[in-house]
Each structure stands twice: as C-alpha cells, then as structure tokens.
Structure 1
C-alpha cells in the first residue's frame, strides 16, 4: 500500500495550493459570517488536510478495492440518519457524534464516485448491455432514495448529475444519448408544465411545502419578495454592495455595516457564503474565488487525462464534476440565478463532513496523478 514507488516530480502542487488557499479563505469568510464556527472549521481544515496528504500517497487502486465495503458503510450511515439522526428545520440529515455532527449524504458523493468508477472499469467491455446498466441504476438508486427521503432533494440531484458525468466519461454511447434525447426532450417539456401545475394543487404528494415554495419563488420572485425571496434578494444586494474591492473582512464601521452584521441573510456561513465573498472582498475577491475553483476543476480534468486506468480517469473526472457543478449551483443561488437550494460552496462553506469529502477526493486525485500514464 505505502511501499508504492512514486515520482514526486508529478506531485500536483498547483492543485494542492489552490485547495489550501481556497480553504484558508473559506475560514476567513466563515469568521466574517459567524465567528462561532471559525474554530471548528479551522481544526477541521487541519485534520482534513492531513487526510488529503495521507490519501495522496496511498495507492488509489488499494482504496478502490474497498469499493463494495465503502458502499455498504454508506448505506448503513444513511439508514442510521433515518433511525437516530438529528432533525434541523424539518430535515433529518445528520448523525450526532457528540463533538460534531456527521452528514452522510456528503460522504455519499465521493463514495459513489469511487463505486461507480470501479463498476464501470469492471464492465468496460459490456457496459452498454441493458442488464449491466440496470444493475448499475439499481445500485445507484438505493443511496439516492435514502438521501431524497431525508428530505434532501438538492443533494440527490447533485449526486445524480455527478454520477451521470462519470458514466458519460466511462464510454456511454453518444449515439444512444442522442437517441434518448430525441425521445426524452419532447416528453419532458409538457411534463415540466404539468409538474409546475400539479405541485401548486392542494394535497400534492411529490414535494414538501418548502420545496414547492422555493420553486415558485424562483418562477415568481415578485410574488414572494417579502417572504421566501427575501434571502436571495438580500444576498444579491450584499454582493452588489461590495462593488470592486469590497468593504473589507469583519468590517464593523457604521458606514460600511455588512449584511453579516445585520443578519439579513440566514445561513450565510454555509449556503450563502458567496454573499460574504462578494460584499467583503468585492468583484476582485469573487473572481479570485471563482478562479481558484476553476483551477481545481481543470487540474482534476488534467489528472483524468493522464490517468493510467479507467477507474483513475473516472474518479478524477467525477471530482471535477462535483466541484464544478456544486460551485455553479451555490453561486447561482447566491446571485438569484437559480432556485434556492442547500448546497455548500466547495472548500469555502462551513461544514466538516463536506470538507472531509472534498479533501479525501482531492487526495485520491493527487495519487492518480502520481501514477500517471507515460
């Protein structure tokens, strides 16, 4: 396992640097949003950095060999959430460990990337057979079902997109995709209108009330401007008020009072951390954060390109999809471009389980890069 010989000239210092700088900036932004979370995030960052560096020198094929064990652990944790989980704001997504809370749905992201990557490698020759695809769909459906009933629809859709990206990179036939799209698109458009109509009917059973409200707020923001749209409206106001250079971190002057000081945006340390970025560091700081996220995605894709086998290529691609898609969603929500969801901004938002998941994934990507194909 640890006796693997690596050429450390291939160690991706750019990726490590981008991750550590972004994570460090995240601690500063969390401190500005709510200083009570700062110490936990800092300790978590130190621990997770150790996990990342440790996994970077552990043969990723060794980790992949435990894919079925990881899958079963993931299922057990998701079941425990329903049995003994902590409920917050109507959602039961956490397991109380005493010193912190564990959110298994965040671990599901990296575990399922590994599991699907190994599955595709094992079925590289017969992936397009319907029995193989059906088995894969069922194996993915179980954890997704356990996540969606927490309820956590946004994370379910997030994981679904990530896994579809991994399957696509794994060699899914473009001809088959085009064939399916010709059938799906004409059907989905009228179904979409039907869905919007149905969720507004009394006693509908598809979505929870708060999920319906989020969708309708996005479609009719003026109607909900004083209620559910209030948070996103204030987030946009905060970002815009930062102008070019921002008001400065932890700015408490009367002239430059921030949204963090007034509490106009709730959950600012997690879902709406980008409003802190925009307000306190302005356009320049926002561009730096987005650029660092882009660097991480690009470096993951570069690693996927030089990976020595299929599973390595798919894991690195999956991490690129995870960081890229989740960053797009989080920033899209903070800027009112997308409906309100509960997805954190990778490496920046508060959340120890999510940070552990990202760091573990990056550690595996670093090891894939050390074993690059020449």
Structure 2
C-alpha cells in the first residue's frame, strides 16, 4: 500500500469508534421507544428506522466533507455561518417550535431541526478562519488582538441567540469558543478574560431574573435533588434509579424495567445513557465511555499532527465540543451536572445532532488526510 494512499491517511480507529457509538445509539433508541405507542405511531421500529436514516445522512455528510476538504471549504465558511445564523433566528418565526420549554427547533415538513447544532460547526470554522489567517500566511507567530476580537464578535452572535432559551446549547458553544481560543495560541489573558466574563454574565442573568422558571427549577433540583422529587428533580432521580438498577452487566437489551415502564422522560434523547446503564450495566456503559474516550484521543492526535494552525483549531474545537457535551450529558444522568438538555453525540435520537457529529468526524478526517504522512 502506497504511503500516501487514501486508506492510509484515514483514521480508521476514529471512524470505527464513531460508527460503533452510532450503532449502539440506534439500538438504545430502539429500546427506549419500541413500546412508546404515544410517539411511535404504533410502529415499534419507527424511531429505529428514522435514526438509521439520520445516521446514513450523517455519514454521507462526513464523506462529502472529506471529499471537499476543510481547506477547500474555507472560502465557503462565511456562507455557512450566515446560513446557521439565519436558521437560528428562524426559531423565533412561525417556523419555530417549542419543546420542553425551549424554543430552539424548526418544524419543517413533519421534521424538527435544531439550528444550534450547526452553530457548533459554524463557530469552530469561522473562528479558525479569522484566528489562523495571519499566522498561516507567515505574518505573525500567534493571533493578534484584532483577530481575537473579530473572532469573539463572530462567536458572540450565535451565543446571544441561544443564551436565554437554550442554556445547554449556550454552555456548549461557550466551551467550544474557549477551546478554539486556547488552541489558537492567542495570549492567555484572552482566555482568562473570557472565563471571567462568562462567570459575570451568568451571575448577571441570574440576578436580573432572565432565566425561565423551569431553568431555575433545574438548577435548584441539581443543588438539592430532594427539593422537588415529583417535579424538577424527577428526571434526575429516575435516571439514577435506572442506571443503578443495571448493576454490573445490566438486565439485557430490551429487558430494562425502568425503560419499558417509561419512567425516565426524554429517554431516547437527553437521557439515552440511562438505557445503557440499565440494560447494559456498568460494563456496557463503561464501554460507551471508553469509545467516547477513543474518539477524543484520536481527535487530539489529529490536532497535534495538523499541518497548519487553521487545521489545529478546527480539530481542537471539535475536541472541546465533544468532551464537554459528553461530560454534561452523562453527568446530568448521574446527577453530578445540572439538567441542561444537551444530547449525547452519536447516541441520542435526533437528526441535527447526528448530522453535526458526523460533519465533525468528516472535518477531523480531512485534517488528518492533509497532515504530513509521518505525523
């Protein structure tokens, strides 16, 4: 096999880990919904088929990104960013729909899309273009103040749109911004200032009473789970019961009593990890965390071996995105993080989340394929 062949340049470990997570996700979604006649239209395979279609489309998007290449896509980033921003604003139009108190979705032809998922990619690519421009051209060794301010201004718009109605998405986007900034090599003071500003902003939002009542209830239930066990604390309590009941090896796929009894709300989306905990047990749930760890490990290797700053920033932004979102999702199921309504990448049901996750895999593969062959 030639040293520069396509097959050699693809990170097969990353690809197989992401594929394994997605396949497991399809099975877990199927288990969580096959008895849900209230939402599956009487077809036990309804969500399985739709998630399979989501996966196929997501993989096709990843292949498209790999074929085009992240460098060739660089000139299209402004258009993609504008598209993402417009889609996020459309959630406040008649096309927007509210789910579980959050107006963060578009309802189009019987399908719902969450534009914020695409914003993760848009912010990563947009900031990478700005921060790497002078460095990759050889004009500077690291991004200057003007570039950093432009990049932060670009990222501020999507965050401002989601911060009031979708705190979970705002948290993920904020971590992506921080990860991108750190990877760019910008002066550390910018990252420290961003953290301080974020903390001050959170305090201000709380003090001004901008948060909705259900958001306040979620934080209250996180601090004291026994505060409202039948209300805001119900999800977390049921999630921990489901995970704890799985024991070491679980009750077996499709055999979970908590899952079959529909005790955990939104189990096919935000709380998909509870299905794994109950039916696959500590070993199965640990296996999922191991696969997530492999994805992050390979992504970090790709970032380290990238041939230019633009590529490094893209890979690092994706690492920050996946790492925080997985930690938040699994953490809220275990009760160590507040319920924030973020999906578990590759596993939770949802087309937009699956598309964005596989676009990220396509970008990582593109970065790896452009690296020096010895890296």
Is the 2:127–2:154 Cα contact (8 Å) retained in structure 1?
no
- Superposition deviation, residue 54 in structure 1: 2.6
- Superposition deviation, residue 184 in structure 1: 4.4
CA distance in 2, matches of 1:184, 1:69: 31
Equivalent runs, 1:284-299 vs 2, <5 Å: 284-299=283-298
Deviations 1:181-240 (A, max 9, x none): 9x949x969x98x779x65xxxx5321111111111111222222321121111111111
Q: Which residue of 34, 48, 56 corresponds with 2:66?
A: 56
- Superposition deviation, residue 126 in structure 1: 8.2
SS at structure 1 position matched to 2:106: strand
Is the 1:235–1:265 Cα contact (8 Å) retained in structure 2?
yes
SS at structure 1 position matched to 2:280: helix
Deviations 1:344-367 (A, max 9, x none): 111000011010001011011111
Deviations 1:285-326 (A, max 9, x none): 011100000100111111111111111111111111111111
> Residue 213 in 1 paired to residue 217 in 2?
yes
CA distance in 2, matches of 1:98, 1:184: 43
Q: Which residue of 133, 145, 153 corresponds with 2:160?
A: 145
Q: Which residue of 115, 120, 131 corresponds with 1:120?
A: 131
> Residue 336 in 1 paired to residue 335 in 2?
yes
Is the 1:32–1:249 Cα contact (8 Å) retained in structure 2?
yes
SS at structure 2 position matched to 1:101: strand
> Residue 164 in 1 paired to residue 178 in 2?
yes
- CA-atom RMSD, angstroms? 2.4
Aligned counterpart, 2:76: 66
Equivalent runs, 1:224-373 vs 2, <5 Å: 224-251=228-255, 258-373=257-372
CA distance in 2, matches of 1:179, 1:212: 27
SS at structure 2 position matched to 1:155: helix
State the TM-score, normalized to the length of structure 1: 0.88
- Superposition deviation, residue 128 in structure 1: 5.5
Cα pair distance change 1:205/1:127, threshold 3 Å? farther
Mean Cα displacement is larger for which, 327-336 or 116-125? 116-125
Is the 2:126–2:151 Cα contact (8 Å) retained in structure 1?
no
* Total equivalences in the alignment: 354
> Residue 77 in 1 paired to residue 91 in 2?
no
Is the 1:117–1:314 Cα contact (8 Å) retained in structure 2?
yes
- Superposition deviation, residue 178 in structure 1: 8.7
CA distance in 1, matches of 2:243, 2:192: 42
- Superposition deviation, residue 115 in structure 1: 0.8
CA distance in 2, matches of 1:56, 1:26: 23
Q: Which segments of 5 or more consecutive residues in structure 2 lack a partner in the other structure?
A: 35-39, 41-46
Mean Cα displacement is larger for which, 35-44 or 343-352? 35-44
- Superposition deviation, residue 173 in structure 1: 2.2
Cα pair distance change 1:178/1:11, threshold 3 Å? closer
- Superposition deviation, residue 66 in structure 1: 0.9
Cα pair distance change 1:138/1:239, threshold 3 Å? same
CA distance in 2, matches of 1:146, 1:127: 30
- Superposition deviation, residue 137 in structure 1: 2.1
> Residue 28 in 1 paired to residue 38 in 2?
no
Q: Which segments of 5 or more consecutive residues in structure 1 lack a partner in the other structure?
A: 252-256
SS at structure 1 position matched to 2:226: helix
- Superposition deviation, residue 96 in structure 1: 1.8
Aligned counterpart, 1:254: none
Is the 2:121–2:360 Cα contact (8 Å) retained in structure 1?
yes
